[in-house]
Amino acid sequence: MPKVFGMSAWSACAVLIASAALAGGAQASTASAAPNQAGASIAVVGGNRAQRELARITAKRVGGATIARVVFRAPSGALRHEHVHRTEMVVVSRGKQTLRSIWEQQLFVGTYLGLVQRWEGAGIAGVTTSETEGRVSQLRPYDVFSSNPKAIRVATLTRNLFNRSVLERAHIVEMEMIATPARLVVLTVRVNDPAAFLKHRATRLLNLFWRPSIPLLGFYFGVEDSSGTLVFATSRLPNTGGVFVIRSLDSCSPVSHSEVGLQPPPPCPAQ
């Protein structure tokens, strides 16, 4: 299994650092389905009626191009050892583990926990994703009710992302503005010279995520080379973030990270 460097996703300030073996995202060379369409394809299994219904509502809110199914089951042995005796929710992604799938799993879990506080009968005691397994008490529910910016402000951010991408000579492969109603952005671009883009131009585009004009719950941003291979990705959710970059472009990355025990990457090929 690909190795992920960093702290547990349950931690307050977790940073997931992906090695070159960890693909940074889903197949983004074709535009993804709209969030509600992606969410509608997620299978929901087990649990009671309230849990299944809330899982489907969560799926439609956050989409999830990589998520295959959500399973409600009796807690695993590890969770029972931690004195968890009620329902465990398992979020499963299709295909290989990627930065995109990790981000979408965390997003699903945090959104479900944010909604469950107002949904009678849908409570759970434990959660499992590809990265983690633990008690709900260890997790932070996302505040999905506090931010609902006006449509004109959302349109302005979308237009700015498009205009900045064009200005930075990047072709937009995928762009989604997802409402939970707290906002999320998914953007994947393709560039002819990834090294030069990452070193000289990506920061100006990322600034629209780092200093957004509307409140954002989180974002996912990916960069493909001219062949459609993902070479860089970064993501953020409350109190956690991640970065993936192929080793040959690591020194070009606009997002710094630390890797314990590895040799320094080669110099950035872009001048």
pLDDT tens-digit map of 184-243: 999 999 999 999 999 999 999 999 999 999 989 999 999 999 999 999 999 999 988 999
pLDDT at 180: 77
Give the separation between CA 167 and CA 162, rounded to whole angstroms.
Answer: 9
Q: What is the pLDDT of residues 108-158, one digit of tens each?
A: 999 999 999 899 999 999 999 998 888 998 888 999 887 778 889 999 999
Tell me, what's the pLDDT at 27? 38
pLDDT grade for 259, boundaries at 50, 70 and 90: low
Q: Is 43 a residue whose pLDDT tops 60?
A: yes
pLDDT of residue 11: 34
Please check the confidence at residue 181 and state whether its pLDDT lies above 50: yes
Which tops the pLDDT comparison, 213 or 11?
213
For tokens 């434990």, the residue is 126
Q: Which of 79, 73, 74 is nearest to 138 (CA)?
A: 79
Residue 10 predicted with pLDDT over 80? no
Pairing of strands 240-245, 230-237: antiparallel
Arithmetic mean of pLDDT, 248-259: 88
Alpha carbons 57 and 111: distance in angstroms, whole number: 10
Burial label, 254 (beta-carbon count in 10 A; 0-12, 13-18, 19+): buried
Answer yes or no: is pLDDT of 34 > 80: no
Q: How far apart are CA 269 and CA 28, in angstroms?
A: 25
Q: How far apart are the first and last CA of the chain?
A: 35
The widest CA-to-CA distance across the chain, in whole angstroms, is 58
pLDDT confidence of residue 133: 86
HEC states along the chain?
Answer: CCCEEECCCCCCCEEEEECCCCCCCCCCCCCCCCHHHHHHCCEEEECCHHHHHHHHHHHHHHCCCCEEEEEEECCCHHHHHCCCCCCEEEEEECCCCCHHHHHHHHHHHHHHHHHHCCCCCCCCCEEECCCCEEEHHHCCCCCCCCCCCCHHHHHHHHHHHHHHHHHCCCEEEEEEEEECCCEEEEEEEECCCHHHHHHHHHHHHHHHHHCCCCCEEEEEEEEECCCCCEEEEEEEECCEEEEEECHHHHHHCCCCCCCCCCCCCCCCCCC
77-114: per-residue pLDDT in tens? 888 888 888 999 999 999 889 999 999 999 999 999 99
Q: pLDDT higher for 7 or 145?
A: 145
- For residues 179 and 138, the model is more confident at 138
For residue 269, pLDDT over 50 is answered with yes
What's the whole-number average pLDDT of the chain?
A: 84
Region 241-263: mean pLDDT is 85
- Residue among 258, 200, 246, 238 nearest 222 (CA): 246
Under the banding of pLDDT at 50, 70 and 90, the label for residue 261 is low
pLDDT for the residue numbered 36 = 53
Higher pLDDT, 34 or 14: 34
- State residue 84's pLDDT score: 86
Please report the domains of the chain, with CATH numbers, ordered by start residue.
4-138 (no CATH), 151-252 (3.30.300)
Residue 15: pLDDT band by 50, 70, 90 thresholds? very low
Q: What percent of the chain has pLDDT over 90?
A: 61
Q: At what angle do helices 151-167 and 202-210 cross, to 10 degrees?
A: 170
pLDDT exceeds cutoff 70 at 18? no
